[in-house]
Amino acid sequence: MSTALQTLTDNLRKGCKKSFEEIYFQYHKRVYGFCVKYGLDCSDAEEVTQEVFVRIWEVRSKVDPTSNFQSYLLTITRNTIVDRFKEKIREQAARAYQMSFLDAGFNDIEESLNYRELQSTIRGVMANIPEKRRKVFELSRLEGLSHKEISKELGISPKTVENQIALALQDFRVAINGK
């Protein structure tokens, strides 16, 4: 790594905004190009580029001035692209599920009433379970995150994530089955 870049990353690590801006101006086109190369459209590539540099600023204290900064930057970019693709897959799956559900339709009044009652029960359970359990459950079942991702995001162990999901499911079983 060049001495100039090493100085910039060292200053970035110390919170120097000018160094951050210089790094941004040196690397934003590479990050954008990397995003496009990996299949993102222009709009998504711009968003990911911004996310990457926000992330760099957030973790600036962990930047190692002696390591290969470009490799570090592209690793963050690749991970952000993967996250973006995962998000799009989850959205597409949710839309497909909703469409298949809507295609099946509610021709029967009783079925419609049962659906509304179930929705009400779900809202009631979600409102009454502890905040931490609800957050874990939402990240798992509504956002489709893995136990490891939830663990990392909330700063708890994967076993705690597993236990909280099991307890939430138990709460739902009790509410639905009355047991």
* Structural domains in the chain plus CATH codes: 3-88 (1.10.1740.10), 107-177 (1.10.10.10)
**Per-residue pLDDT at 105 exceeds 70:** no
What is the sign of the dihedral through the CA atoms of 124, 127, 133 and 139? Answer: positive
- Model confidence over 12-54: pLDDT tens digits? 999 999 999 999 999 999 999 999 998 888 988 999 999 999 9
What are 69-92's pLDDT values in tens digits? 999 999 999 999 998 888 888 888
For residue 104, name the pLDDT band (cuts at 50, 70, 90).
low
Of 70, 91, 82, 90, the closest CA to residue 26 belongs to 70
pLDDT tens for each residue of 145-158: 888 889 998 999 98
State the pLDDT at residue 31: 95
Give yes or no for residue 161 having a pLDDT over 70: yes
Rounded Cα gap, residues 171 and 176, in angstroms: 9
For 53, other C-beta atoms within 10 Å of its C-beta total: 20
Q: What is the mean pLDDT of the chain?
A: 85
Output the pTM of the full model. Answer: 0.54
Instruction: Confirm if 124 and 175 have CB atoms less than 8 A apart.
Output: yes
